Amino acid sequence: MLMQQVEQSVKGAVQIEGLSVSFHRQGRENRVLEEIQLGIRPGEFACLLGPSGCGKSTLLNLVAGFIKPTAGYVTVDQQPITRPGADRGFVFQQYSLLPWKTTFQNIELGLKIRGLSKPSRRELVDDYLNRVGLYKHRNSYPYQLSGGMQQRASIVRALVNSPSVLLMDEPFAALDAQTRHMMQELLLDIWEDLKTTVIFVTHDIEEAIFLGDRLYIMGVQPGHIKAELPIRLSRPRHFDDTLSTEFINLHRQVFECIREETLKSMEAG
């Protein structure tokens, strides 16, 4: 059990109300998201799925506070989001470790900025590094790590700061299939300890069903929440679960829902 477990479980309520975003380019308005309404409970694992360009990353960036909405708002634990903050950790698709720092130094950075003492930083970071099998690579530089190892370090870097919400934008998309499955199981293992709220963007239907408590399937033109689907598969989940009839039926249901939207966006060119 990780040290931060207890304090995590009651934080991380995300509320999105009437959220719309438009971008302007060369005098033309591009309405990307319209009237998004959703509530994610503390500790919930929510997955955002939808065709390319429907606005998944934009929605995640709004929760992160990287961009501002045209209308509506996001709150985390009743606090309106206006900018990035330590209550939200972010894991990107691209490996984003600082190349001139070791694994340990990359992970401890946020703790150092927050003023944690050296022994406390070492204890916390090493605890996580052991947990994700990276302890012996603590003094390696990012170029010496595989893609999967770098993403494990990126996840730890986000979690070590005890965020209420972990935002993940296709974090495993660049990994090979075997590594991706291992990373999914590892992420669930950690999440089941910490119960941090997770919002996870993915293209991969199997990944979303395997990980999520709830799927938000987005539609296009402009981006909106088309369907909300609770996933009631028992936990802990294992890769074999993806072969069950229940899983396959859910997959089919989600596939059909996304296919309709993909066809719409293709017809619109």
Q: Binding residue for ligand ATP (CB under 6 A) from 57, 154, 184, 197?
A: 57
Query: Does 58 participate in binding ligand ATP (rule CB under 6 A)?
Result: yes
Question: Locate tokens 């999440």: which residue?
Answer: 191
Query: Does 219 participate in binding ligand ATP (rule CB under 6 A)?
Result: no
Please report, for residues 31, 202, 220, 256, 259, the alpha-carbon distance to residue 263 in angstroms, rounded to integers and kept in the order given: 19, 19, 10, 11, 6
Q: For residue 79, which of 8, 165, 169 has the smallest C-alpha distance?
A: 165
Least Cβ distance, residue 169 to ligand ATP (angstroms): 8
Strands 28-40 and 224-230: unpaired
Q: Binding residue for ligand ATP (CB under 6 A) from 12, 14, 16, 55?
A: 55
Query: Does 93 participate in binding ligand ATP (rule CB under 6 A)?
Result: no
Stretch that binds ligand ATP, among 53-61, 148-156, 172-180, 259-267 (CB under 6 A): 53-61
Q: Binding residue for ligand ATP (CB under 6 A) from 32, 49, 63, 97?
A: 32
Strand order through the sheet with 214-219: 88-91, 165-169, 197-201, 45-49, 214-219, 224-230
Between residue 229 and residue 268, which ones bind ligand ATP under the rule CB under 6 A? none
Question: Locate tokens 């634990």: which residue?
Answer: 77
Give the bridge partners for 75, in sequence order: 15, 80
| Axis-axis angle for helices 118-131, 147-159 (nearest 10) | 130
Q: Which residues contact 249 (CB under 8 A, 6 or more apart)?
A: none
Number of residues that bind ligand ATP (CB under 6 A): 13
Q: Binding residue for ligand ATP (CB under 6 A) from 6, 18, 23, 146?
A: 23
Stretch that binds ligand ATP, among 50-58, 83-91, 176-184, 228-236 (CB under 6 A): 50-58
Q: Binding residue for ligand ATP (CB under 6 A) from 14, 47, 49, 54?
A: 54
Least Cβ distance, residue 179 to ligand ATP (angstroms): 21
Complex with ligand ATP: residue 46 or 190, whichever CB lies closer: 46
* 3-state DSSP of 183-210: HHHHHHHHHHHHCCEEEEECCCHHHHHH
Query: Does 53 participate in binding ligand ATP (rule CB under 6 A)?
Result: yes
Interface with ligand ATP by CB under 6 A: which residues?
Answer: 23, 25, 30, 32, 50, 52-58, 203
